[in-house]
Amino acid sequence: MSSSVPTDIEAIAADWLARRDGGAWAKADDAALEAWLDAEVAHRVAFLRLQAAWDESGRLQALGAGWKQAGPPPRGHWAPPMHGRDVSTLDNALPASADLRELQFAPRNRQRNRPSFAARAFAVLSLTACALLANWGWQSYSRVETTSYRTALGGIETLSLADGSKTTLASDSQIDVHLSRRERHIDLDRGEAIFDVAKDRQRPFVVDAGSRQVVAVGTRFSVRRDAHELRVVVTEGTVRLQSPADGGHPKPATLLPAGSVALVREDGLLVRSVPIADAEQMLDWREGLLVFRDTTLADAAAEFNRYNARKIQLADAEAGALRIGGSFRWDNAEGFTRLLERGFPVRAEYSADRIVLATP
């Protein structure tokens, strides 16, 4: 029974102490204990310290390292308390080469100053839990949930987003939704979408359409992205139209209140104010209608072509310059062209994949 590790020595000393007081003790055990005590000075110091701790406190913790049975060991005939002994008696119990102050007091002081194994384990577990909690909190804060939605040609779909907002996608449109604890970011890759934004002042709702961003907190608006034009229609609340920051420096933004129609082209930005009812009519495509007010036939044909595989084509510029008005079903391009033939100087040629309009 010998060991050079302090915790093992204390456990063995506690086991000797418990066995000696347990009642089943013989002279052979005395000889074995003395041999173990004489093997190393640290053995005797650990044994005497544990014995003193038990005598002074009467608590089971002094023997907890070495007691293997269930329940506390019965108290027997223990030696007199350490403080009651004569110092010379203790000195005689130690080898002549041992320094009494070093053996008796230094180890005990170190034991008192050194945290127990349970305390150290609790501290480690606490720090680990705090680190895990902090890491989880940061991940929850910075984690981004990404979802993509798209519609086919001629399809319209209304979707509910995870933040409580709703969006209606026009024909042949695609958005990528990125939701985090800091921001709600929507990439409009192509087409048009109407956004009914749930109010959340802590998380701005940003629609990125390439050259411009539309920022809202809680409102209703639409963004349309074409090859050479961006259109924003606001029907409720106020949105901010801004350019992406250039080198970390934000550019001036434009506030768009309800009734605003903003057109962004290569030559600049045009904003006009219209009645709310007129702004709403510009979004009637969600009801299956296209509304034209003094619109060129070229622009009207382009609108129909956004929803139909059978395209309307203009044979000459004169036909494209004609101006029309009215509401038409976007899924009935042939009916639209037949009405044109009756009321305008145009003629149409029909085929399976196209309708060609020309002046007579």
304-319 confidence digits (pLDDT tens):
999 999 999 999 999 9
- In this predicted structure, the answer to whether residue 271 has a pLDDT above a threshold of 80 is yes
Q: Could you list the residue range(s) of the whole structural domain that residue 341 is in?
A: 288-358
pLDDT at 5: 55
Task: Kindly state whether residue 124 falls inside one of the protein's structural domains.
Answer: no
Q: Of the candidates 255, 281, 307, which is a domain's last residue?
A: 281
Mean of pLDDT values over 142-149: 83
Task: Kindly state whether residue 120 falls inside one of the protein's structural domains.
Answer: no
pLDDT at 106: 42
Torsion of CA 11, 15, 18, 19, to 10 degrees: -170
pLDDT higher at 346 or 102: 346
205 and 178 in a single domain? The answer is: yes
Domain count, the chain: 3
pLDDT band at 101 (very low <50, low <70, confident <90, very high): very low
Task: Kindly state whether residue 135 falls inside one of the protein's structural domains.
Answer: no
Structure-token match 């979004």, residue found: 283
pLDDT band at 349 (very low <50, low <70, confident <90, very high): very high
pLDDT at 45: 80
Average pLDDT value over all residues in the chain = 80
Q: Which of 302, 305, 315 is nearest to 229 (CA)?
A: 302
Q: Is 132 helix (H, G, I), strand (E, B) or coil?
A: helix
CATH code of 266's domain: 2.60.120.1440
- In this predicted structure, the answer to whether residue 224 has a pLDDT above a threshold of 90 is yes
CATH code of 327's domain: 3.55.50.30
What tokens appear for 256 in the block?
């768009």
323 DSSP assignment: E
216 and 167 in a single domain? The answer is: yes
208 and 311 in a single domain? The answer is: no
Does the model's pTM come out above 0.75?
A: no
152 and 192 in a single domain? The answer is: yes
243 and 312 in a single domain? The answer is: no
pLDDT at 130: 52
Q: Of the candidates 243, 258, 281, which is a domain's last residue?
A: 281
